[in-house]
A and B are shown apart, each in its own frame.
Chain A
Amino acid sequence: MSGSAPIIASTHPNDGLLRADRFPHILCPGCGIGTVIHCYVDAMAASGLALSDHACVSGIGCSGRAAGYVNVDSYHTTHGRALPFALGIAVYKPGMRVTVISGDGDLAAIGGNHLIHAARRNVDLTVICINNFNYGMTGGQAGPTSPRGSVASTAPEGVHDRPFVLPDLVRAAGASMVSRWTVLHVRQLRDAILRGMQKRGFCFIEALSPCPTNFGRANDLGDGMAEMEVYRERCELADGTPGYDALDIDLTDHTRPILVGDFLDIERTPYQPVGEHTA
C-alpha cells in the first residue's frame, strides 16, 4: 500500500488487543507475521476470557517480536528459550492461557530441545510456529526448515541439509494437537489457535508465512503476494495424519502439493506436576 493512502478509519476493532502505541511495527511489506498476530488476537477475543488470563511469550527473530505487539502480559525472551519461559508461567499459573509465538529457527534450531521436551511432557501451551523457511531478521540465513536446494546467505549454492518437518516432529514427540496452515488460511489459522487455547495440553500450529525480503527474494518467489499465490495454488487439505515425506515442503517444486490441515487432535493428560497431597 502506498504511503499516501488515505486513512479510512482512525481506530480498529482490535486496537484494545494490540499495543497500538507501538505502531508502526518493524515488519516488512508483504510479511506474513502480522497476519498471524491478527489471527492470535482474534482467537483471544473469541476465547471469551479476560485479557489478564492470557500471556504471550516469544523468542528472538522477526516472529519473536510478536509478543511486543499484543496487549497482554507479554515476554520477549532470549533466542530459543520461549518454551521454558512459558512453561514456568503455565505450570505456576495453570489457569492462564499461555501462547508462544516464535519462528522456525528459534523454536526448532536453537530451541529444538525445549520443543520436543515440551511436546513430550504435553505442557499446557499453544505454540504458533511461524515458519518462513529462513532466519529473516538477520538477513536470510539457512535454518532447520529451509527446504533442500533453497538458497540462503549461508547456503549460496543451496541447502544440503535435510529439514525438520515440524508437525511430524512434534506429533512424534507427544503433542496433543498439531495443525499446519498458511497465512492465506486466516480463518482456519484463527480457529486452530482458538482450539489450542481451549484445549489442555501441548497444541502446535505451524503457520507457513512469506518472508519476501529474504527467503522470497533469494529463491525467486516474488513478493509476499506471489508466495501467497503459491500457497493458493498448491495447498491441499490433508487426510488424517500425514508423515514426514508427505509433509515435506519444496516451494520451488511446483509438482508437489503443500499439505495443510488439522493433523492431530487427541486427548492426552496435560502436564501438571502435582504433589502427593493433591493427588
Chain B
Amino acid sequence: MTAQAAGQERVLTGTHFMLGDHACAEGALAAGLDFFGGYPITPSTEIAERLARRLPRVGGKFVQMEDELGSAVAIIGASAAGARSFTATSGPGFSLMMESIGLAAMMEIPIVIVDVQRASPSTGLPTMVGQSDALQARWGSHGDYGVAAYSPASPQECFDLTLLAFDVADRYRIPVLLMMDEVVAHMTERVVIPAADAIQRGQRPRPDHAPGATRHLPYAVGDTLVPPMAHAGEGYCVHMTGLTHDERGYPALNEATHNQLVNRLVDKVRLNAGEIERYEEYALEDAETVVVAFGCTSRSAREAVKRGRAAGRKCGLLRLVSLWPFPEARLRGLLERGRVQRFLVPEVNLGQMRREVERLTQLPVLRLNHAGGAMPTPEDILAVIP
C-alpha cells in the first residue's frame, strides 16, 4: 500500500471521486489543519469521521468534544496557541456555537466553522437539505461583528473554499463560516487536489519584535486594522478577553473604547470586502433576468439559465460564492448597466438572501422558495424566468 493510500499524506494530490464532506476535510488538511474539535451531527458527520482517521496520522489533534458549545470554544483555545483549527456541525449545533463566534470575533482569534445545512428550524429534517442558516451566519451571535461566509456548490468547491476559509480567517483574524448544504455535502464528484507546494497559505499577521524586548500590545493596530497575533507559549504574555478591551487587551469598560473596537471589528471585513468576497458570473452580459443563487440551488439555476438561453430568454446567473460579504458592489454594477429588469432568487429557505437583493434594488425580485427537504429543479427555476 502506498503512503497515500494509507492516508498518511497531508495533501492528497491527485484526481479523486470524492464526497463533499470528505473534500471539505481534505481541504482543511491541505490548509494545514492542526486541531479539530467537534461533535457528530448529521449531515456533517463524515467530516469528523474522515478527520478522526486522517488528522492524527499527519500529526494533528482530533478531539471529539462533549457538545458543540465545547467544540467551538476548544478550537478558539487551540487557535490562541497557534493552531489552525476548525469544527464541523449542522443547524442545531451551529445555533449552540453562536456565542463562540462572538468570542472569536471579539478576541480576534481565527477559526473556521463548517455548517452543513439541513432542513430547519429545530431538529427539522436531519438528513435532508436546507439553506436556511444563511442569515444566522451573518447575524447569529449577539452584537455587531464581522465574519466571512462561503457557500460551496460542488465537492471541488468544498475543498477549495475550505482552503480559502482558513486563509481569510488567519489574514483578518475573524471567524469564517463554510455554509455547505446537505446536497453538496453528500454529493460525490470529481475533486482535483493540487500539489502541496502549489498551495499558498494566507498568514496571520505576527508581532515584528521578539518577546520581552518591548512590551507587546495585543490589540495595537496599524493601517490594516488587523493587529499582529502572538500565541500562547511564545513569551508575549498576552491577555485576551471577551470584554471590551484596550490595546493592551485589558478590560476598558467605557463607551468610547467599545464604539471604536466594535467599529474596527466590522470595518476589518467591510473595508476589505473586495478581497474577501467571491462570486461567479454566467451569461450576465445582456441579461434582463438575473438569477442570484448559491450552494446546491445554484446548480439548478445554472442549468435553468442554460436552457433559458437556448430558448432565447435573456437570463444570466450571479452565483454567490461568498454569502458574506454579499457581493454588493457587483450587484450595483449590474444595475448601473441598465439592462437588468428583474432578479430571481431561488433558495431552500423562505427568502433569506432575497432580502439582500431587495435591499439594493427597486426592481422586482422574484422568489422561488422551499422551506427545506427538497431543492428547486432546473424546470422549477426555468418556469419562473420570463
Contacts and interface: CB of A to CB of B under 8 A. Distances in A.
Given A87-B70, A113-B69, 9 more contacts: A74-B238, A75-B239, A84-B71, A85-B73, A92-B34, A92-B61, A113-B66, A275-B56, A277-B57
A217 interface: no
Given A77-B73, A81-B69, A95-B233, A88 B58 contact: no
A274 interface: yes
Contacts of A87: 37, 63, 70, 74, 77
A52 B56 contact: no
A81 B63 CA distance: 16
Contacts of A89: 77-78, 80-81, 232-233
A273 B83 CA distance: 15
Contacts of A67: 239, 241
A73 B237 contact: yes
A88 B78 contact: yes
B81 A88 contact: yes
30 contacts: A19-B250, A50-B235, A52-B235, A55-B81, A72-B237, A73-B233, A73-B237, A73-B238, A75-B77, A75-B232, A75-B240, A75-B241, A76-B242, A76-B243, A81-B73, A81-B100, A84-B69, A84-B71, A87-B74, A88-B76, A89-B81, A91-B35, A91-B61, A92-B35, A92-B85, A95-B233, A96-B81, A113-B70, A276-B57, A278-B59
B79 interface: yes
B236 interface: yes
Contacts of A72: 237
A47 to B, nearest CB: 15
A241 interface: no
Size bracket of the B interface: 35 or more
Nearest to A279: B56
A96 B232 contact: yes
Given A85-B74, A88-B80, A275-B58, A78 B242 contact: yes
A67 B251 CA distance: 12
Given A52-B233, A76-B241, A87-B74, A93 B63 contact: no
Interface of A: 19, 22, 50-53, 55, 57, 67-68, 71-78, 80-81, 83-89, 91-93, 95-96, 113-114, 117, 273-278
Given A55-B232, A84-B77, A87-B63, A277 B8 contact: yes
Contacts of A85: 73-74, 76-77, 80
A196 to B, nearest CB: 18
A273 B62 contact: yes
B67 A113 contact: yes
A74 B251 CA distance: 13
A85 B81 CA distance: 10
A67 B232 CA distance: 13
Interface string B107-129: 10000000000000000000000
B232 A93 contact: yes
A95 B78 CA distance: 13
Q: Which of A51, A86, A93 has the most chain B CB within a 10 Å cutoff?
A: A93
A83 to B, nearest CB: 8
Interface of B: 8, 34-35, 37, 55-63, 65-67, 69-71, 73-83, 85, 99-100, 103, 107, 211, 232-243, 250-251
Contacts of A95: 233
A68 B211 CA distance: 19
A84 B37 contact: yes
A74 B243 CA distance: 13
* Max chain A Cβ within 10 angstroms of own Cβ: one of B8, B60, B69: B69
A78 B76 CA distance: 11
Nearest to A91: B61
A84 B70 contact: yes
Nearest to A57: B77
Given A84-B74, A88-B85, A273 B63 contact: yes
Contacts of B238: 73-74
Contacts of B99: 78, 81
A68 B34 CA distance: 28
Nearest to B248: A21
A199 B172 CA distance: 38
A84 to B, nearest CB: 4
B206 to A, nearest CB: 15
Contact of A78 (B85, B100, B250): B100
Contacts of A81: 69-70, 73, 99-100, 103
A88 B77 CA distance: 4
Contacts of B250: 19, 22, 68
Contacts of A88: 35, 37, 73-81, 83, 85
B348 to A, nearest CB: 32
Contacts of A83: 70
A273 to B, nearest CB: 5
A50 B233 CA distance: 10
Going nearest first, the 5 A-B pairs with the smallest beta carbon separation are: A88-B77, A275-B56, A88-B78, A85-B77, A76-B241
Contacts of A86: 77
B358 to A, nearest CB: 35
B232 A277 contact: no
Contacts of A114: 66, 69-70
Contacts of B239: 19, 67-68, 73-76
Contacts of A55: 81, 232-233
